[in-house]
Structure 1
């Protein structure tokens, strides 16, 4: 197949990761994939690093002259490459792709929603998503419900395709676990709780720190905290201020930027996703689960699709988060229940399944064209 993946995403966030991972899978499977990016962005750099063919098109501009130039560029690309599938991973520019399809360019148009923010349910958006696009892909059940009931998207045109995780890279690594625990001073009897995620208020570092502090005050003397991440929207200094305020400086470690993330995840005894909102795709959750670490989480975004209900808590509920961590740490039956549920979930969330489900969609669109 000839495929355009439109990834006009500035940052290398979950949306960009989903789109670039999918593009790489499709290209490696022998399909002709052209990735359309914003020039000079992290997403463009990551796509090129993955060995993908990229073309920069300024779809995010609000300048009418630049947008007209972008439209001419796209028309040129359509005439040159003649894609069968165009998959838009951002809303900016989606209207243009819809217009060009209506003006006679023959491609199947897919809109993938890897963002937890729902689109406006107005007449134009409903028309674009259900009357112009040939399919809408969502990455969690909550967004699927929104499209079915608010956007009035016909069921056959709505596809739920979760992201996948590279299980060749992310799996339990005993040697890596031992090495990382020794590096950070964690003993064999320590209970290491960890949060994997960029330093950003949305990720709930403050709540995780406070939950661990609460458990220590309750007498859990062997509890330790590993924050696997580095400066982005928040700095290490800001994270350390939360650590000092909670009084857990002596039991907390910050990884900084690492090349051995899989080993750091393996070093955990319990993983945490404490996000306050978002998590439409939850890359870090998939990586923790692939390493067979029991995961407790807030019930945002895609997390109810992934995590056993017994260890889901409300965002910002520090006491609930502490209780969930304590339950997994002290109740062997609960721990086994959580791990068994994760194993069933992860069997459907490999990269092979990610590719297979996407190809099923693309092939069905071409068959119906």
Structure 2
């Protein structure tokens, strides 16, 4: 297959970029793969350094004055390279790809759309993308699939494909490495301290302050035995003020935006993602792959990552008291934490591998192309039947000799 991945983000791109790069790394071994993204994007900069991968500097301009020209440029790119599949990952590149392939009766690539978020999917623009610019839909969770069944995409073939992570990169480490990491991030940390941490980011919608509020509810003796470690953009003044108001300033570490989160995750005993809306979470799966049991909120697709009580725990959104009770229990039940961490790694090996993720995505492409082939064959047979009927009608209407 010849596959073109598109994304409109000009900067880091977050989960979209990680998702695409993971697929590119695996599928470029057996298919011809290309990426179209803005030159300033992490996606373009990473893809251009991958052997055998074509990276095209492409800005998906969506203003009325630029949209037509951008679509024509993408159409020329598609026609010049003969892609079988265009895999779109955002609203802007989805819209432009739909316009670019409009009316391509011959060798039209199939458009596969991944819905990464649960933002509203309604309005005329969505209807046009879903009707004219989509052949198959990949949902990153069952939660996403249920959400899309209420939209125009319900008319399309939808398949759930959960994220995969690089299990050779995100791995559990020896106890000695854990100790070194803890001492680096938390100098003079008492041995009985429970470190809970998150690499999911520090925007308000990640609800990391719920963990701070829950720890603050504990009796002082228990509260002092817990540290919270966070990776992401540093908190704003309002967020810091809330931490101070809860009396938790000395127990929270802000690691900042890390290029590599593994050294911080190594220091965790337990990971957490308490978002109020999250379709799945790469951060959750990366922490699980490193052998960290997870505490997740019962929101969006987060519960799909874990088996409650086995490799993690599910808490109600904003359930500070429930979360505090769970932490108090885990403080004095370290063997349970260790067992859950081992189970998290085992699940990762069984379900989260990059190869499994890529194979399931590849199966969506192949299914989409088979349907297209069946449709073309059906249309060809229909045209042949029409032609035969026309010929018979023409001969029947001839006067006898």
| In 2, Cα distance between equivalents of 1:49 and 1:320 | 47
**Which string of whole-angstrom CA distances, capped at 9 and with x for unpartnered residues, describes residues 29-55 of structure 1?**
232211111342344334446565322
CA distance in 1, matches of 2:90, 2:290: 30
Shift of 1:210: 1.5
Q: Per-residue displacement from partner, 1:276-317 (whole Å, max 9, x unpaired)?
A: 32x223111011111111110112222011123452223333
- Of 334, 348, 359, the match for 1:356: 359
Matched, 1:246 2:239: no
Alignment partners' CA distance in 1, 2:279 and 2:128: 23
* TM-score (norm: length of structure 2): 0.80
> Are the equivalent residues in 2 in contact too, given 1:308–1:341 (CA < 8 A)?
no
Conservation of the 8 A alpha-carbon contact between 2:216 and 2:223: no
Deviations 1:320-358 (A, max 9, x none): 322333344445686477547635642211111111111
- Asked if 2 retains the 8 angstrom alpha-carbon contact of 1:113 and 1:137, the reply is yes
CA offset digits 1:123-166 (Å, max 9, x no partner)? 774564366522100101111112234436257x1111111111
CA distance in 1, matches of 2:255, 2:56: 35
Question: Retained in 1: the 8 A contact 2:164–2:353?
Answer: yes
Aligned pair count reads: 361
Q: Distance in 2 between matches of 1:340 and 1:192?
A: 17
- For 2:249 and 2:58, locate their aligned partners in 1 and report how far apart those are by CA, in whole Å: 47
Deviation at 1:74, TM superposition (A): 0.8
- Give the structure with higher Rg (CA): 2
Which residue in the other structure is 2:97 paired with?
A: 97
Residues 108 and 133, structure 1, Cα contact 8 Å, conserved in 2: yes
CA 119–107 in structure 1, closer or farther in 2 if over 3 Å, else same: same
**Secondary structure of residue in 2 paired with 1:316:** coil
Equivalent pair of 1:137/1:158 in contact (CA under 8 Å): yes
Q: 1:274–1:216: structure 2 CA closer, same or farther, 3 Å change rule?
A: farther
Moved more, 350-359 or 243-252: 243-252
Q: Is the 8 A contact 1:180 1:264 kept in 2?
A: yes
Change (3 A) 1:165 1:337: same
Aligned mates of 1:49, 1:359 — CA distance in 2:
23
1:365 equivalent to 2:368? Answer yes
1:240/1:62 CA distance change after superposition, 3 Å? same
| TM-score for the superposition, normalised by structure 1 | 0.87
Alpha-carbon displacement from aligned partner over 1:45-73 (angstroms, at most 9, x marks no partner): 34446565322333243142x22221221
1:211 aligns with 2:214: yes
Report the equivalent of 2:138: 137
Question: Residues 31 and 194 from structure 1, CA distance in 2 versus in 1: closer, same or farther, beyond 3 angstroms?
Answer: same
Determine the structure 2 residue equivalent to 1:275. Answer: 275
Partner of 1:313: 315
**Is the CA contact (8 Å cut-off) linking 2:265 and 2:287 kept in structure 1?**
yes
Secondary structure of 2:192's match? Answer: coil
In the alignment, structure 1 segments of 5+ residues that lack a partner are none
CA–CA separation in structure 2 for the residues paired with 1:128 and 1:253: 44
C-alpha distance after superposition, 1:199-255 (max 9, x if no partner): 311222222212222235373442222223333xx44x5554333222123333222
1:19 matched to 2:34? The reply is no
Give 5+ residue unaligned stretches, structure 2: 374-401
- 1:1-369 aligned at under 5 Å gives the runs 1-10=1-10, 11-27=12-28, 29-48=29-48, 52-64=53-65, 66-104=66-104, 105-120=107-122, 125-126=126-127, 128-129=129-130, 132-151=133-152, 153-154=154-155, 157-174=157-174, 175-183=176-184, 184-185=186-187, 186-217=189-220, 219-231=222-234, 234-235=235-236, 239-258=239-258, 260-277=260-277, 279-309=278-308, 311-331=313-333, 335=337, 338-339=340-341, 342-343=344-345, 345-346=347-348, 347-368=350-371, 369=373
Query: Matched residues in 2 for 1:270 and 1:158: separation?
Result: 34
1:197 deviates by 2.7
- Report how far residue 113 of structure 1 moved: 0.7
> What CA distance in whole angstroms lies between the structure 2 residues aligned with 1:12 and 1:98?
21
What SS does structure 1 have at the residue aligned with 2:138? strand
Distance in 2 of aligned mates of 1:75 and 1:260: 37
Q: Write the distance in 1 (CA, Å) between the matches of 2:247 and 2:36.
A: 48
